[in-house]
Amino acid sequence: MPARLGSPGAANNGFARGHSRRMTFNGLLVLDKPAGITSREAVDRAAKWFPRKTRIGHAGTLDPLATGVLVLAVGPATRLIEYVQAMPKAYRTRIRLGATSDTDDADGTVTPDPTAVPVAEAAVRAALAAFAGEVEQVPPAYSAARVEGRRAHLLARRGHEVALAPRRVRIDRIDVRDYRWPELELDVFCGKGTYIRSIARDLGRALGVGGHVTALRRLRIGPFAAEDAVPLDADADSARGRLLPLASAVSGLPLVRVTADEARRLRNGQALPAAADGEVAVLDEAGGLVAVGRAAGGWLKPEKVMGRS
């Protein structure tokens, strides 16, 4: 029987399972990362909400200066991080023109340009227009980008000169929220791998006055929004109760519904006849994620099978 196209159910039971010795958890958790800590430190603090040895990862690193949406993957959900990372993102940032920073943000050594003069808003908007679309962007020297297998920020902090190659990124839209020289506030909608600090740096260069980020907040990754995020000072019960189903990690993929028997066959590695084409997320009758698979030639083959929740 061909698999059926559909949409995920509103609920997926079993984010936590009781075992004889301990309870295990799986799902996605939207965290509101505060300023002043790394993404890794945020994950380590959130780990206190779950039993020891619970696997926890995160999608999309935020700088220490940045706040907002950090999606945590708990338990088996860590196998799905790549799909969250590929989702579109939205940021709100404040940029100060007329000064540069060695880190391209206010956490670094800031150097004002004494020759900088106020730039008209029309010129700022015209310069920003060149950033939209598929563009080549050089990551900041102080970033997690790799140079010959080593993190750029580690080399930069040791005094090494870091030369990073440009990368192709997608910037869907940049909206000017407010501009009062030298402060510029923007909303940026972009794809994976885009550095907002690079936008600030490159905009400053284009205007001939320099620029760096003074505030940054990630508003959204795909369907995961800041208004739905859990603060780091939440209690364990509250945080655990906010776990989202595995299916939310693959909401950007075409969805295929299967029966209980078809789900069993997929989990056993068997292919199913299907009219879909390309990579798909396979959901059971309750909306739970069964597998991520690839459909071609009339057959759906499982590639990443998820256990029963």
Q: Which residues are catalytic?
A: 63
Question: Residues 272-277: contacts with CB within 8 Å, 24+ apart?
Answer: 272/2, 272/3, 272/299, 272/300, 273/1, 273/2, 273/3, 273/298, 273/299, 273/300, 274/2, 274/3, 274/298, 274/299, 274/300, 275/2, 275/3, 275/5, 276/3, 276/5, 276/300
Chain centroid, CA 144 distance in Å: 14
Q: Which helix (H) or strand (E) holds 303?
A: strand 299-305
C-beta of residue 46 within 8 angstroms of C-beta of residue 244: no
What lies within 8 Å, CB to CB, of 52 at 6+ separation is: none
Distance CA 84, CA 251 (A): 9
Strands (E), 105-210: 110-112, 133-137, 146-147, 150-151, 167-180, 183-190
| Number of residues written out for the chain | 309
Report CA Rg, the chain.
Answer: 22
Give the residue from 76, 41, 35, 42 showing the smallest Cα distance to 243: 76
Cross-strand partners of 189:
90, 173
